[in-house]
Amino acid sequence: MPMVTINGVEVEVEKDVSILEAAAQAGFDVPHFCYHPALSAPANCRMCLVEVERAPKLLPACYNPVSDGMVVQTESEQVVRARKAVLEFILVNHPVDCPICDKAGECKLQDYYFAYDAQESRMRAEKQHKVKAYPIGPRVVYDGERCILCTRCIRFCEEISGTSELTLADRGDKIEVRTFPGQELDNDYSLCTVDVCPVGALTSRDFRFKCRVWLLTSTESICTGCSQGCNIHLDHFRNETQRYRPRYNSEVNDYWMCDDGRLTYKNLHTDRLLSPQHNGATDNWHTLTKSVAAKLEKQIKAHGEESIALVLSAQAACEDIFLAKLFHEEILGKKAQLYIAGKPSGKHDDFLINADKNPNRRGIEAVFAKLDGIKDVATLAGDITAGTIKTVYMMGTEFGEGDRSEAVAALKKCELFILQSTQGADLLDVAHIALPACTHAEKEGTFVNEEGIAQPFYKAYEPHGDSLPDWQIFMRIAKAMGKSTLNFTFLSKVQDRMFEATELLRKAEEEAAAAAKKAAEEAAAKKAEEEAKKAEESAAATEEPQDSTPS
Ligand code: SF4
Ligand code: SF4
Ligand code: FES
């Protein structure tokens, strides 16, 4: 493996990695615009020029591979001078309308200008004007004046989505990104072009002018749009999710996510069920859990455990499903009937989008180990009509592939229908009791994706209204029924017991713990290296002879 020296730091890297990637491994960021780790490298922006010993001129670090014994300087005087010149050139026609640009605060041009240029423009002539706020596709807006022609968006459409809608048109200072005649930027992943655009030339029509990015707090989460489980940054402000952005995970979604999934954040705030309800009237948790407990006991006594249906939701987290399992075993009685519900199947492709629109169907399999005896919710209406089910306790409001109107009509005939959900939808009019549950943005938990990969998500903000995590609702009702076995003080206690009981999740937890340990060790080693380097530099500085020339 080649050994290279970057800014005095020796590093051994894989054969054929670029100087830019080798520098990153040595702990140095080389500024770049057109380079993206998942796309080809056209080396067209020249922002990443570096000095390589014995090379006749500066080389683009994103394009040139390392060779054994290579000595590179990424911050030499010559390199910094070139960077400044590149920035000045890019800014010749740039409108610098940062105050009204959505990218401000996360724009590479803005960051590099402050780091390397920071001078007034020498441009005195009128700047070249191009299209502004042009709707290049149904979800993306293009600003030709801000575009730095890095071609990342074009390469994304060619190399990742495979849809090739974009190209560069015209010449000289009139050049801009356009779609081919008669086409729009309209593919299932079009909003990823906004992510890859290093400046504010492509912006999301959904997010435009909604919130300044420096006001956002970001929480690591998982998209719930389908069973792929794309890793996301859930960006929120004042207890509301403002947008999803893909979070890198080479095993699951790389750097990408689909547009439909990205926009599912809107469901987190629409038609929320925010307070416990009893026959349509608002109630409080204390009295309502007592009523639920009394009613369930009465139903079990009157018709037996087997007349009760507990409907599990493939939208719920593993921890919620685990509590539902304990609730079934220890409270309702093992003879109570179990059903699985979730959103109906939808479109799919051979990249990320899965037909199963539920984030945790595999999680139900992981928690229950065997699904024998658990029925599909599509059969629930028939069982109610046949009179075998008198009571339904349902998580969520979805009926999978089942006929919704038939299911709602059947639920009307139930002696007792308890709904536990984030939204009430059309079931609110039918439910005797409605219990408000938290969305995944308001709690912590685990989803298992289609591939069987267990992935944690974290609480972004406090629950809206009186909603509670599903696992806590089950616990409250169990307590009201006088059963103290379901008594977990914290989610971590639920997880300890769940991991103990569930082989798949236990394995995932061990892997996550090992990965976290490795990351902590790497971070500690990097910090020690940086401190040693700083100490070396300050020792060298004190040894340097003082300049005695009078000023
Ligand atoms: S729109 Fe953005 S990503 Fe596309 S070429 Fe212009 S600057 Fe690059
Ligand atoms: S592919 Fe599925 S999980 Fe990924 S972003 Fe789209 S809907 Fe969400
Ligand atoms: S990042 Fe290397 S030339 Fe653009």
Cα gap 465→462, rounded to integer Å? 9
Structure tokens at 20: 């830019």
Ligand 2 in contact with 332 (CB < 6 A)? no
Ligand 1 in contact with 227 (CB < 6 A)? no
Structure tokens at 133: 């706020």
pLDDT tens digits for range 312-322 = 999 999 999 99
Taking 80 as the threshold, does the pLDDT of residue 516 lie above it?
A: no
Ligand 2 in contact with 410 (CB < 6 A)? no
Ligand nearest to the CA of 30: 3
pLDDT tens digits for range 339-380 = 999 999 999 999 999 999 999 999 999 999 888 889 999 999
Instruction: Give the residue-averaged pLDDT of 265-288.
Output: 96
The protein residue whose alpha carbon is closest to atom 2 in ligand 2 is 226
Give the pLDDT confidence score for residue 541 in this predicted structure. Answer: 64
Please state the separation of Cα 502 from the chain's center in Å: 26
Structure tokens at 292: 């639920």
Please provide the average confidence, as pLDDT, over all residues in the chain.
94
Ligand nearest to the CA of 267: 2
173 CA from centroid of ligand 3 (Å): 19
- Residue 107's alpha-carbon distances to 104, 157, 203, 476, in angstroms, are 6, 21, 12, 48
Ligand 3 in contact with 62 (CB < 6 A)? yes
Pocket test of ligand 1: the residue of 108, 131, 148 to mutate, having most ligand atoms within 8 Å of its CB, is 148
Taking 50 as the threshold, does the pLDDT of residue 4 lie above it?
A: yes
Backbone φ and ψ of 525, nearest 5° = -65, -40
Taking 50 as the threshold, does the pLDDT of residue 148 lie above it?
A: yes
399 CA from centroid of ligand 2 (Å): 20
Give the pLDDT confidence score for residue 190 in this predicted structure. Answer: 98
**Confidence class of residue 521 from pLDDT cuts 50, 70 and 90?**
confident
Domains of the chain as residue ranges with CATH:
3-90 (3.10.20.740), 125-212 (3.30.70.20), 277-508 (3.40.50.740)
**3-state SS assignment for residue 420:** strand
Taking 60 as the threshold, does the pLDDT of residue 548 lie above it?
A: no
pLDDT tens digits for range 426-437 = 999 999 999 999
Q: Tell me which residue has tokens 């520098």.
A: 23
Taking 50 as the threshold, does the pLDDT of residue 550 lie above it?
A: no
Ligand 2 in contact with 232 (CB < 6 A)? no
Fill in the amino acid letter for 531.
Answer: E
Instruction: Give the residue-averaged pLDDT of 468-494.
Output: 92
Ligand 2 in contact with 254 (CB < 6 A)? no
- Please report which helix (H) or strand (E) contains residue 160, including its range: none
- Tell me what percent of the chain is helix, strand and coil, each rounded to the nearest 5: 35, 20, 45
Give the pLDDT confidence score for residue 523 in this predicted structure. Answer: 78
Instruction: Give the residue-averaged pLDDT of 517-546.
Output: 72
Ligand 2 in contact with 353 (CB < 6 A)? yes
**Confidence class of residue 547 from pLDDT cuts 50, 70 and 90?**
very low
pLDDT tens digits for range 151-196 = 999 999 999 999 999 999 999 999 999 999 999 999 999 999 999 9
**3-state SS assignment for residue 440:** helix
Pocket test of ligand 3: the residue of 18, 33, 57, 59 to mutate, having most ligand atoms within 8 Å of its CB, is 33
Ligand 1 in contact with 192 (CB < 6 A)? no
pLDDT tens digits for range 76-131 = 999 999 999 999 999 999 999 999 999 999 999 999 999 998 889 898 999 999 99
